[in-house]
Amino acid sequence: MNPESSVSNFAESGASPAIVPARRSRLSRVWLLGFSLAVVAGVWLARESLRRWITQTATLANDAPAPDLVEDMIQHAADPRAALLAAWHSGKVVQREVAVHCLSQVCPLGQPLPAEFEALLRAAAYDPDLNVRELAFGILRERNDPTLPALAAGLLRDVDPQVRMLGLDQLKPAAAALGVPLVVPLLDDPDPLIVALSLRLLENWSGEKFGVKLSETASIENERTGLQEYPADGYAKARAGAVRAQAWWARHRGEFAPTNSVALAAAPGPRDALPAGDFQLRTLDGRRVRLSDFRGKVVLVNFWTTWCTACVGEMPELIALQREHADNLVILGVSLDFVPNEHGNLGGEEAAAEPAAGEAAHDAHAPTAADFARARAQVARTVKLRGINYPVLLDEHNEVGGRFNGGELPTTVLVDARGDVRRRFVGTRSLPVFEAMIAEASKASP
């Protein structure tokens, strides 16, 4: 093309060669500005949904969230039911417990439960976490769930007496025809309170009296050790009542159908695996210890503090357990002495009320380096005084305690050789019960 004719054409059209690119540039800027404004407007309009999505994602990914944050996330989600199910399927201890806790809020009484929530409740009834089990059975009982007796019957065979007690409690509304054959085997239980509770149920169903009061067999907390102890003659009285009940059963057995197998058929099968994940904490001498270091062995993680009487009181049981099962068991004592109490102080109420002599008062919500040093020294004294023969780890930032919801003390988490949580429970247990749990976890391991 002739350059002169090209210029002539631009001149004839009333535009110069420099003006056309300028117009295009202005159009591009206008288009970009419009697009940017549209994006900003879209984000502004969707800001609440975006905020909820970010909150839910972060809460579900958090290994140790505060329970009230999880509950708030579920309650304020755009779809609370979906958020609850997401929390349950997160595979994390805190989120799962809060999910079951919130179920009655999300699906109030009087509303039928969706199928996925019914499945959740049945799984929760046999969850490794005893707190979750208790919550699940409470909801099933509120709703008069027809499978409640069958689910409760499965608990009666558990090695933990606290689980067996939970099963007995849930059988109270059951008909005699179903309940009596299920409870009679517990008359030979080694726990006197289990025997007494079984006798009470049998009395209610049969109208007979077997001569045992719960007060005669109930455990009493030892003020010095913090442990539960049975009256000296508690088991003898329970055994005498059991003999009378068994004589009654021998006379009336033919009046009851063998309902055990029918009831237990509805109980769920093996529990789903709940991965414990991994964590790393330091010992008193600064050595780093990981949970995964002990893969291939059963690991018992015990959360405790020096000021928890029951925690210190059960240490002889744990020491004996570690000594007698060193070949297949590792106990990790995780000290939570560094977690501030409700006043922001370390070491429990009494320790907070009595600062060291000459130490200036400081902000109760900002523990100092001296506070942490004092807590470490107290842990070291307890380890030496009690002769603890297993690693004691310092959870100075509540990373592991928060993950396993270890605020209630003592809390114990049992992890099998594969790294899955087999049990989580609050409170002390006897040496025979611990040994039964270890044997059970060992069978589940490869």
User: Is 7 inside any structural domain?
Assistant: no
Say if residue 421 is in the same domain as residue 304. Answer: yes
Domain span at residue 54 reads 47-145
Distance CA 265, CA 150 (A): 8
Compute the distance between CA of residue 198 and CA of residue 15 in angstroms, rounded to an integer.
Answer: 102
Q: What does the DSSP assignment read for 141-169?
A: HHTT-TTHHHHHHHHTT-SSHHHHHHHHH
Same domain as 344, residue 230: no
Same domain? For 246 and 306 the reply is: no
Of 248, 269, 290, the residue at which a domain comes to its end is: 269
Domain stop point among 269, 288, 320: 269
- Where is the domain boundary, 124, 145, 166? 145
Q: Which amino acid is at 240?
A: A
Kind of pairing between the strands at 392-394 and 329-335: parallel
- Is 19 among the domain residues? no
Look at residue 368 in the predicted model and tell me its pLDDT.
84
Domain-embedded: residue 33 = no
pTM assigned to the model: 0.83
* The predicted structure's pLDDT at residue 348: 61
Q: Angle between the 93-106 and 80-88 helix axes, to the nearest 10 degrees?
A: 150
Q: Phi-psi region for residue 89, left (φ > 0), alpha (ψ -120 to 50) or beta?
A: alpha
Tens of pLDDT, residues 100-146: 999 999 999 988 999 999 999 999 999 999 999 999 999 999 999 98
Identify the helix (H) or strand (E) that includes residue 119. helix 115-124
- Give pLDDT, residue 72: 96
Residues 109 and 184 in one domain: no
Query: What residues of the chain score a pLDDT lower than 70?
Result: 1-48, 259-272, 341-345, 347-366, 406, 444-446
> Please, what sign has the CA dihedral across residues 295, 405, 136, 149?
positive
Verify that 211 and 261 share a domain, yes or no.
Answer: yes
CB of 328 within 8 A of CB of 442? yes
Going by the DSSP 8-state scheme, the letter that residue 415 receives in this structure is E
